[in-house]
Amino acid sequence: MKITRRNMLAQTMAIGAATSVPAMAAAAPRTVERWGVFEIELAGPSGGNPFVDVTLAAVFEGAGKQIRVPGFYDGDGAYRIRFSPPELGSWRWRSESNAGALAGKTGAFTAVAPGKGNRGPVRVSKDGYHFAYADGTPFRQIGTTCYSWALQSDAKCAETLKTLAGAPFNKMRMLVFPNVPSVATNPFARTGDGPRDWDPARFDPAYFRRYEDRIQKLGALGIEADVILYHPYDEKRGYSDMKRADDERYLRYVTARFGAYRNVWWSMANEYDNIETKAVEDWDHLFQVLVAADPHDRLRSIHQINTYYDHRKPWITHASVQNGAAVLDDLRAELHRAFALKPVIFDEVVYEGNIAKRWGNLSAEDMVQRFWYGLIGGCYVGHSETFAADRNADGSWLGQGGSLAGHSAPRLAFLHRIMEEGPVPGVEPIQAWWNYHLGGQQNAYYLRYFGAEQPTEWPVVLPGKGPDSLQSYRLDIIDTWNMTVTPVEGVFRMAKKNDYDVQDPARPTVKLPGKPWIALRLVKVQA
Amino acid sequence: MKITRRNMLAQTMAIGAATSVPAMAAAAPRTVERWGVFEIELAGPSGGNPFVDVTLAAVFEGAGKQIRVPGFYDGDGAYRIRFSPPELGSWRWRSESNAGALAGKTGAFTAVAPGKGNRGPVRVSKDGYHFAYADGTPFRQIGTTCYSWALQSDAKCAETLKTLAGAPFNKMRMLVFPNVPSVATNPFARTGDGPRDWDPARFDPAYFRRYEDRIQKLGALGIEADVILYHPYDEKRGYSDMKRADDERYLRYVTARFGAYRNVWWSMANEYDNIETKAVEDWDHLFQVLVAADPHDRLRSIHQINTYYDHRKPWITHASVQNGAAVLDDLRAELHRAFALKPVIFDEVVYEGNIAKRWGNLSAEDMVQRFWYGLIGGCYVGHSETFAADRNADGSWLGQGGSLAGHSAPRLAFLHRIMEEGPVPGVEPIQAWWNYHLGGQQNAYYLRYFGAEQPTEWPVVLPGKGPDSLQSYRLDIIDTWNMTVTPVEGVFRMAKKNDYDVQDPARPTVKLPGKPWIALRLVKVQA
């Protein structure tokens, strides 16, 4: 029996790993950061098929909780159990297995205060429509997608990580199974040379070790890893066409391996409705398997091409939506919240790029526009890029990662700054069903976005009634493309306009620059 | 035992009641129109509380089907069972009851071909997003609402019916329980003088007899009766705050009484989420009671104020939506289909009127606009009016019926004509997620609506690829307000424009009149 104690995310974070101690401290008081990873390594049987034959879990007790955490086989007779302590304090554990060498092992550790940069996993915020880290810090999602980046060479991955370190993205959508040319293509043991010659009952630990290395490196950059478990683009290999028992084993393996990393989110599938071998009932079942297999209760979604999945189903934590037109209007975006009653991320809204396909040739302006409309509608948006010399998206940022060639990223960083300066837990649509096109926080903070329109004036009318609505506001003119914030002199002192609205009778309007991509921000001040 | 044979809808229809024969033909071969009403009247106990004590149903056998139809107590010892035969041919029946006088009665009748104007009940069309009568005729919904019209005096009701006879509306939303001053206010037996002094276990048959008379008279005009079973506006009387057993009895009574009329639709509630005494679980339960109680399987919906009900639930046949802003954009409307995966009716989109409230002061132009955007989005819309001298909606068309004071109705009649000339089963959104703002039928028929915009030119670009898209079209300029259709000379012969679109290189654009409320119609012609 060998116990390693790792706090992987904290270790790989550039700063603040002060509470981390070297691995392999087999005895003595052991500590791990709250929300870090405590890993047990056990030696066990390597004969037969350990992926199928051997059961393994550990029950962790601490902070008044008892949590059963499944383990996994990592090859060469090594078994691991990974647990991320949700609470501070002492934790004890005891292993369970059908293999004598793995059963009845015990141990203990202490979960200590998280180091700098460790804010815990992202959860749905209490209001139900936004996200926050476990420590309460709002998580303002600015996503991107590099489908098979994790499966590229270490050099290419390093390039992607370097790009990400200088980019605004805090969530990465990434496939477990490859969809474009990749270095790593075999999640399962090969049984021959044909694309379908693999054994769904034998994982290739090296493949998953590579993938979890990428997860950790994203974590070190403060980026959530939105792990996409299935996709429809590998008919050749058929990884998304497995039988139910194989699917269940796969989900259990992935959750046991990856689920303890606090930056992991689960996306059940990309374009689930394009996977012809699975029906909605299958996805429902697999979600239930996922929930049961994941003691860390990571965020869960599913992404569609044509038919929206029913995001109200209880295992869905937030809606992941593909729809390019929905975020050309904040009120279209808002409707997705009204249907899901959960946070909404437009994870695919067509890509900034230059390929011939209409899904991959947005201008940077149009990409940025979609983020702003999504924000005003109380939702979140995802980016990606399809610039490619060969007009083929495979080698683009979308397919393999690498470097960015577009011009939206700096504007999304600017947008993220605006979001961070905004209300907690996030921007709410304001009386959306009355067509105001305002987001913010009632009687405190408002955003208005004009997209491609070029107004020269705007009537400063806010919805609201009663004493709480009679606030004073400072107003900023935000050029979302040129990334400038220009305060307008003085304040707007709101008075009752009618039964529904307030307005400053002395300053009923504001002059605007008559340019596209302008937004307004009104922030309450003490009058 | 007395058997009456009625074919109520056919009888009350002005024309085509040829197959109807006088009631009370107790012996001899009996006939009823398919989709008409066959009524059994039986004499039984009048002591105790027959509404609670006596069970009654009849099993009908015919056309290879066996259908169990619950009966109801109509007062004075009279019991009735109403059945609308879904198929032609011979039907036999046998009664079941816990009362000896009502049990084991038998009879037979023949369902004959429907008379003129009898197209059967409206169902969801096969494609899943539209409506059609049982005989296959498309039902192009143009709804209105007069909440408590059925509960007014016969004279006032006659006025409403006269108005309807000259109006385009083919669906009427109507409450069972009053929400504004009414002649009929007591669905239940009174037990005292206070508003809450009534016995939920004793219905007042006269109240329901009046209501079903209104249902039949609407049927005679070819108007569907969208019967709203609960609403939140009678806290004083509390009809929507009954206990579960009383709710169940009420639903069973109403379905037994009204369900055989082929023009009945069920709306479980108006603004369900404003009824504080019922939670979503209660509504789910009541829907299951309704389904079980209604052998005629009438259409079922529920209407909200704030929180959309989950229209994907299996007992919902179509989405009934309140949202005024959703139908200011065809793509907002379309999203409701994408969520419900069912037909969508925007039953409440704010009203044409002159009251002080913002929900009741739309211009006629704005009302008509909402219908058009809804249509382009593949959905349907509902009208009502709130013109009132006292600025109070109670006495308006919305509250009590009567006469129309607004100007939208003729334009909605014009719209209905356009719909009738359009594709079967209805107008589909065309590549909505690519922002074309087109409705119609791919490669055959297109509508484009400009609302308040006043374009002077439009590029005649249609989405489509491959040989099927290379059609020729005639183009009409429709003035939706002035109700004119102006054909444009010649045809547009489509050729490939790019991978996604077609266009006539010789006629790439069409001139438009630069006025608001303009629509375009392109209809495929043989080139």
Going by C-beta distance under 8 Å and a sequence separation of 6 or more, which residues neighbour residue B325? Answer: A331, A432, A433, A434, A435, B332
Query: Which CATH superfamily hosts domain A8-112?
Result: Immunoglobulins (2.60.40.10)
DSSP β-ladder status, B31-33 and B106-112: parallel
What single DSSP character describes residue B455? -
Which is it for strands B171-175 and B142-145: parallel, antiparallel or unpaired? parallel
Chain B residues 419-448 with a CB less than 8 Å from chain A: 432-435
Whole-number mean pLDDT of chain B? 94
- Residue B158: which residues within 8 A CB-CB, separation 6 or more? none
Give contacts of B323 with chain A, Cβ < 8 Å: 433
Query: Would an 8 Å CB–CB cutoff place B310 in contact with chain A?
Result: yes
CA-nearest residue to A433 within chain B is B325
Residue of B450, B425, B439, B431 lying closest to B522 (CA atoms): B439
Per-residue pLDDT for B8 more than 80? Answer: no
Per-residue CA distances from A518 to A120, A367, A452, A456 (Å)? 35, 15, 8, 10
Contact B332 A336 (CB under 8 A): no
Q: Is the pLDDT of residue A15 over 50?
A: no
The dotted CATH code for B122-420 is: 3.20.20.80
- The CA distances from residue A488 to A27, A440, A451, A513, B501, in Å, are 64, 19, 20, 12, 45
Domain ranges of chain B: 2-112, 122-420, 442-525
Domain A442-525 has CATH 3.40.50.2300: no
**Distance, CA of B505 to CA of B493 (rounded, Å):** 8
Write down the CATH number for the domain with range B2-112: 2.60.40.10
Helices and strands in chain A, H and E counts: 10, 32
Contacts of B309 in chain A (CB under 8 A): none
CA B255 to chain A, closest CA, distance in angstroms equals 30
* pLDDT for residue B464 is more than 80: yes
Set of chain B residues whose Cβ sits within 8 Å of the Cβ of A331: 325-326, 329, 332
pLDDT per residue as tens digits for the range A335-392: 999 999 999 999 999 999 999 999 999 999 999 999 999 999 999 999 999 998 887 8
Tens of pLDDT, residues B92-132: 999 999 999 999 999 999 999 999 999 999 999 999 999 99
Q: A261: which residues sit within 8 A by CB, 6+ positions away?
A: A8, A9, A37, A84, A212, A215, A216, A219, A225
CB contact under 8 A, A433 and B339: no
What chain A residue is nearest to B434 in terms of C-alpha separation? A325
Please indicate if any CB of chain B lies within 8 Å of the CB of A312. yes
pLDDT at A341: 98
What was the pLDDT predicted at B265? 99
Cβ contact A499–B331 (<8 Å): no
pLDDT tens figures, B149-188: 999 999 999 999 999 999 999 999 999 999 999 999 999 9
Tell me, what's the pLDDT at A3?
A: 47
- Which residue of B325, B336, B433 is in closest CB contact with A432? B325
| Residue B527 pLDDT class (50, 70, 90 cuts) | low
Q: Confidence class of residue A22 from pLDDT cuts 50, 70 and 90?
A: very low
Per-residue pLDDT, A126: 97
- Checking if the pLDDT of B5 tops 60, the result is no
Chain B contact set for A310 (CB, 8 A): 310, 312
pLDDT over threshold 70, residue B12: no
Given an 8 Å threshold on Cβ–Cβ distance, is A332 in contact with B329? yes
pLDDT bucket at B4, cuts 50 / 70 / 90:
very low
Task: Tell whether A236 lies on the interface with B, counting CB pairs under 8 A.
Answer: no
Q: Does B308 touch chain A (CB under 8 A)?
A: yes
Q: What pLDDT sits at residue A389? A: 81
Alpha-carbon distance values, A115 to A4, A15, A131, B255 (Å): 19, 9, 21, 64
Domain A442-525 in the same topology as domain A8-112: yes
Minimal CA separation from A407 to chain B, in Å: 23
**Distance from the B280 Cα atom to the nearest Cα atom in chain A, whole angstroms:** 13
- Tell me whether residues A329 and B329 touch, CB distance under 8 A: yes
Specify the residue for token string 């808002």: A334
**Residue B495 burial (10 A CB sphere; 0-12, 13-18, 19+):** exposed
pLDDT at res. B2: 47
Condensed to tens digits (0 to 9), the pLDDT of residues B18-33 reads 333 333 334 434 999 9
Chain centroid to CA A36: how far?
A: 18
Please report the DSSP string for A459-502 in residue order: E-EEE--SGGG--EEEEEEEETTTTEEEEEEEEEE-EE-SSSEE
A344 touches chain B (CB under 8 A): no
Q: From the CA of B304, how many Å to the nearest CA of chain A?
A: 12
User: Does the pLDDT value for residue B205 go beyond 60?
Assistant: yes
Q: What is the pLDDT of residue A235?
A: 79
pLDDT in tens, B259-279: 999 999 999 999 999 999 999
* pLDDT for residue A6: 43
pLDDT band at B144 (very low <50, low <70, confident <90, very high): very high
Whether the predicted pLDDT of A11 surpasses 70: no
Mean pLDDT throughout A462-472?
97
Answer whether residue A2 shows pLDDT above 50: no
Which tokens sit at B403? 């006469």
Yes or no, beta carbons of A332 and B328 under 8 Å apart: no
For A310-337, the pLDDT digits (tens) are 999 999 999 999 999 999 999 999 999 9
Helix H segments across A303-358? 330-340
How far is the C-alpha of B191 from the C-alpha of A96, rounded, in Å?
A: 67
pLDDT > 60? residue A236: yes
